[in-house]
Structure 1
Amino acid sequence: MKNLLFLLSLSFITLFVSCKTQSAHVITITNNLNIPRSLETIEINKSDLTLKHGESFEKLSVKDLETKSILVSQFVDDNQDGEVDKLLFQPEIEANSNKKFELIQVDEGSKPEIIDYCYSRFVPERTDDYAWENNKVAFRTYGPVAQKMVEDNIKGGTLSSGIDAWLKRVEYPIINKWYKKNDEKLGAYHKDDGEGLDNFHVGVSRGVGGIAVKKDTTYYVSRNFTNWKTITTGPIRTSFILEYADWDADGQTISETKHIALDYGSNMSKFEIELSGTNAISAGLTLHENDGEPTQNEENGWISYWQPHEDSELATAIVVPNGNMIDSELYVTSLKDQSNLYTQIKVNNGKAVYYAGFCWKKANQFASKADWETYLSDFNKKINNPLVVSFN
């Protein structure tokens, strides 16, 4: 009888320990590359976890089991149904190694300080821009009011689906500050007061990653976005959606919806574009005065344009993952703002994916063209070999 009671007790203890172990949300992240990884975003879906009774997904934090520290994290309601469905964080993983993390609930006082470096919004006070930024770079593009002003010959409009670059050289957010400064004194953000400035000309060019469809020797483009939706802002990611009216490419009707995201620490915005009417698009980089150095590195999946820019230097780039770059072309024309360095990208299952961004030498992020191009090759290597996430 004593033996039976002992066995039953042992079984209960084993079951209790087993259940306790299984209920912990332990995550192992593996880096299979021979380079260290940081500033890459891990996404944990709510559906990946089996939550205990009474446990709330949106109250979980990420603990580094090696350092015992709580990491900065961000929740996202990706499908906009009113409930968060994704948890984001950025681990540091050494080359060819793995690291363990646990999702736990902690007191508010134990959480790290949160700064919304990754920010975006619609800007009705400056006609109707949509602008976005992180701690490295900032961008904007143009809406339907700006288009109509051009069509109605009203001064101050912009007719372009190109992507503008705002050259910031501070870590903290500047979008609201610069627009406010411009409200107080028109054109104020065209002057550098130490934070950077807007002196990047877009016009009807593709700017930094605007798209086109090529037919024969001509590139056809859309007009300004017609609708927008902000998905998230926060310490790790901002993301949003831009919709465009259907447009014509020499008899082909193209539909286009851009899903754009920018993560902390990255110089590159991710463009995931829903399309119909074409099996390939071209994403472009403006050549401005055509006095820069284009690089077409199709083998490593990127193009770049390094150019003199007023009293400094500037580089723009497009990176295409998963071998989906078809080719590239240096397109030079006498037509104003229509010379671009293009890469042609496959449309797979109605989507084209690429990354577009830039660096400004005055921001002290990259010292040379060689440093920038090393970054691009490493960037594509990383997105083609993502960190591997496994659960307990």
Structure 2
Amino acid sequence: MKLNLKPTLFLLGTLVLFSSFETKKQTSLGIVVKNALAMNRVDEVVSIQLKQLKKLTESYQDLLVKDEKGKLLVTQIVDTNLDGKADELLFQATVSANSSVTYTVFVDQDAQNKKPVSSYSTFARFVPERTDDFTWENDIVAFRTYGPEAQRLIEAGEKGGTLSSGIDIWLKKVKYSIIDKWYSNNLKTPGYYHIDHGEGYDPYHVGKSRGAGGTGIWLKDSLHVSKNFVKYRVIATGPLRAIFELDYDSWSQFGVKETKRISLDLGANFTKFENKIAANSKIPNYTVGITLHTEKGSVKLNAPKGIFRYWEPIDDAFVGEGIIMAPKQIVEAVNHHSSHPDQSQILVITEPKNDVLVYYVGSTWTKAGLIQSKEEWDAKLEKQEQIINNPLLIKVM
């Protein structure tokens, strides 16, 4: 008997064809980045949720990103919740005013060897060699704050301590990282980073003030503040974004506890604070401050826009500080004068939404060569306020 195999072969071929369609993965996706503002956005860090890229690969280390001209871009993969699984892909986008640009993310098995290396980077770390500071920086600015051992030394009456939950500013005029170098040299020569050796220095006094962006509770004409942070967690430190968290133990009559998630992008003057707040009872007047030091500078408060600025002389140059936050979080802003040391401050009294307060703290130094006047700093703050409130729109195609 002669068998007719044509129908069977046709069926098998059809199954194989459809099977290949079902298992074949895409090799690239378009990422459209839209700028709705009437100003150019240059080298702004954008974030893509990796779950949007599952069509490409489950091994996110194989991903590369290129611009419309085919140039490969620096990228960073971030595990935002420290669960061991990657969550976000970061890269820098440049988009002209009122326009959009399409980037391409694609799979390359040799991605690790082809990825461009950034000349500069963000950086954040715990610094046990200087008691227990926590310090962070990018190519433009640097900050630090203080840990539990620094607090213990003060409370025990021993040398080398610092009791403050204020935020210190370091002034740098080089793009490369200075944290490790300055601390290392400070071990050899105590006070090294308080002197400018050509890269910048730390002349900024915090004391009992809020420094630039520390928090407190404004109650009966007094600012009540926490002690030093008690725990830290580094979430990410890399070419494009540093992220970490600081925990503060219970303080004040309201039993306030804070976890501050702090992040800093490459190329930014502003570090982002996301403060999660818990308390035993309702907190009145949760406040963010900027020290006015000896009040020799110029204050500008713009609560309707959520912009607060201080421009002051320090040694032979000028330093600008600023806070930006959503106006809906603001109750009142005060230029507070005091005869007590470190207590003259800009105080921004807030009403956090859902027990979270988000704000941005920025600084600039005229010797860094980027901004030379308070008018330029005001313009920078205004521009940053627009950027914060009008994020680039991302669509994965």
- How does the TM-score come out when normalised to structure 2? 0.90
Aligned ranges for residues 1-392 of structure 1 at < 5 Å? 24-52=28-56, 55-64=58-67, 66-106=68-108, 107=110, 108-115=112-119, 117-248=121-252, 251-277=253-279, 278=283, 280-321=285-326, 323-392=328-397
* Local SS of the residue matching 2:163: coil
Q: Is the 1:294–1:306 contact (alpha carbons within 8 Å) kept by the matching residues of 2?
A: yes
Give the Å deviation of 1:283: 0.8
Distance 1:49 1:173 in 2: 32
Give the Å deviation of 1:194: 0.6
Distance 1:359 1:187 in 2: 22
Q: Is the 1:279–1:347 contact (alpha carbons within 8 Å) kept by the matching residues of 2?
A: no
Give the Å deviation of 1:280: 4.8
Distance 1:377 1:321 in 2: 13
* Local SS of the residue matching 1:92: strand
Which segments of 5 or more consecutive residues in structure 1 lack a partner in the other structure? none
- How does the TM-score come out when normalised to structure 1? 0.92
Structure 2: which amino acid aligns with 1:146? A
* Local SS of the residue matching 1:71: coil
Query: Aligned residue pairs: how many?
Result: 378
Distance 2:24 2:331 in 1: 51
Distance 2:329 2:32 in 1: 30
Which segments of 5 or more consecutive residues in structure 2 lack a partner in the other structure? 1-9
For residues 299-340 of structure 1, the C-alpha deviation after alignment (integer angstroms, 9 at most, x for no partner) is 221101001111111111101036423321011111111111
Q: Is the 1:70–1:112 contact (alpha carbons within 8 Å) kept by the matching residues of 2?
A: yes
Q: CA RMSD in A?
A: 2.1
For residues 168-212 of structure 1, the C-alpha deviation after alignment (integer angstroms, 9 at most, x for no partner) is 110000000000010011111111111000111110100010001
* Local SS of the residue matching 2:267: coil
Distance 2:264 2:115 in 1: 23
Structure 2: which amino acid aligns with 1:156? G
Query: Which structure has the larger Rg?
Result: 2
Give the Å deviation of 1:19: 10
Cα distance change, pair 71–279 in 1 and its aligned pair in 2 (3 A): farther
Distance 2:331 2:266 in 1: 29
Distance 2:62 2:71 in 1: 17
Q: Is the 1:58–1:84 contact (alpha carbons within 8 Å) kept by the matching residues of 2?
A: no
Give the Å deviation of 1:104: 1.1
For residues 17-50 of structure 1, the C-alpha deviation after alignment (integer angstroms, 9 at most, x for no partner) is x998976321111001110102322111112223
Q: Percent identity?
A: 40
Structure 2: which amino acid aligns with 1:318? I
Distance 2:164 2:370 in 1: 29
Structure 1: which amino acid aligns with 2:46? I
Give the Å deviation of 1:113: 1.8
Q: Is the 1:115–1:234 contact (alpha carbons within 8 Å) kept by the matching residues of 2?
A: no
Give the Å deviation of 1:279: 6.2
